[in-house]
Structure 1
């Protein structure tokens, strides 16, 4: 089977590697985004997935639009396309072109958490499990019939990045198993209409910590969002980006958002329990430890975060 992987993320590496070394199928290449001008010098740069693929001697395609993508499918006579963190709407015309259609590797147990941010939503919700689904792509939002699904425990300290690494490896294996199902003429199972939920993308405002929440929820917010879009709070008019925090226990009774400086520890009260901030970046400055931040404070009393 001739296969293209469509993705803009390094999450696709395990899948592309598995297909590259699979004796039964041919990886035609990876479809990804156009090069972009980045940095102060606005130098035109390929995304990390494209750079990796070139190093692995995997063909990389960067169609400018869906017409270019259609031409690629037609010329390469591809049998199947697998999307994973691709982020583009596929037209009905393109969906109909490959012999076996399109698959998507989605990081939830569908129909739960359809949409762009399933892992982040699972962590933020305090879920105990997550998973991977491989389904046949259709015109809906992650609504296609499912070939393979795997549910796994969600570690209480795992971040979004930790979970994505694990699920990308598991998803690669499930996708290869799905290819065998398709080759043997097995059909996918329609998704249940019960338990449908959606995982909308987060924005920067979602990363502001609500100190009147329980410490467990704040920790989940950090685990889910600290890399993207980032977790932050305000000390007066100073914005603080939180790089690392953890739940902690203190003897004092703290109000929500109240700051306790315990020697070189930066502790904040919540609705239930407390949070210790370990690393942070004040606006306009470099990343620093809590102790470094404390040493730079002119006032260490009556401080509140919000």
Structure 2
């Protein structure tokens, strides 16, 4: 069956997005969740009007974005915050809200013209923020399918974010409870390396942080350190 659109999303919260969009629009929608599924052969057989990328961890091949209209969703007010780990980079800089930018895939990283932007709160854990963002992205996809908006070039000062590395989840050097709270919650989502402290031969992973007046409460998972990665 041909698809009116394809949704390529590698995270768990993308699982039901295609079904929800199809139910609300009546437009056939195919879900792709793995890199090896995103092939030119499959896409040509489906012949979608759009391919949406709400959360995709891999580079989109040029053969695909030149052949199809590929729409990427990025959690910053582009051109501010081009690059990797947008949620973590925003929280670590003290932002409490941002915008989700829907833009057309092009040659540069996060440089394509913009279709839509919608506000997003950055309160809560990373998991909660991603779930909230998923609901907003669903509405943005439906709007694009219903209105076929024109895209316009990005404008403004460009700021580049660097993708965060797993070792940056180390909590050594944190000075305040607020900073500690933000570092724990910004990594608290499925598929992300949680914030940690190394204590002797042990590694303490912290999740589900709760901010109190003069303290934090959090869940702690203790494992033996892998000395090969020290």
2:137 equivalent among 151, 161, 171: 171
Residues in 2 aligned to 1:33 and 1:212: alpha-carbon distance in whole angstroms: 36
Q: Helix, strand or coil: the match of 1:120? A: helix
Q: 2:220 is matched with which residue: 273, 276, 280?
A: 280
Aligned-pair distance for 1:245? 4.0
SS in 2 for 1:283: strand
Distance 2:21 2:188 in 1: 32
CA positional deviation for 1:200? 3.2
Are the aligned partners of 2:114 and 2:153 in contact in 1 as well (CA < 8 Å)? yes
Alpha-carbon shift at residue 179 of structure 1 (Å): 2.1
Residue 181 (structure 1) aligns with: 147
Q: Is the 8 A contact 1:113 1:199 kept in 2?
A: yes
Q: 2:185 aligned with 1:217, yes or no?
A: no
Partner of 1:76: 46
Partner of residue 190 from structure 1, selected from 140, 153, 157 = 153
- CA displacement, residues 212-243 of structure 1 (integer Å, 9 cap, x when unaligned): 52221111101112442111113344322223
Residues 282 and 23 of structure 1: CA distance in aligned 2, closer, same or farther (over 3 Å):
closer
| Equivalent in the alignment of 1:263 | none
Alpha-carbon distance in structure 2 between the residues aligned to 1:239 and 1:108? 32
TM-score, normalised relative to structure 1: 0.64
Which has the higher relative contact order, 1 or 2, with Cα contacts under 8 A spaced 6 or more apart? 2
Is the CA contact (8 Å cut-off) linking 1:134 and 1:149 kept in structure 2?
Answer: yes
Greater gyration radius: 1
| C-alpha RMSD of the superposition | 2.5
In the TM superposition, residue 85 of structure 1 has moved relative to its aligned partner by 1.4
Deviation at 1:103, TM superposition (A): 0.9
Equivalent position SS for 1:84: strand
Question: How has the CA–CA distance of structure 1 residues 139 and 219 changed in structure 2, closer, same or farther, with 3 Å as cutoff?
Answer: same
- Name the CA shift for 1:199/1:159 in 2 (closer, same or farther; >3 Å): farther
Q: Which runs of 5+ in 2 are unaligned?
A: 226-230
For 2:103, the equivalent position in structure 1 comes to: 135
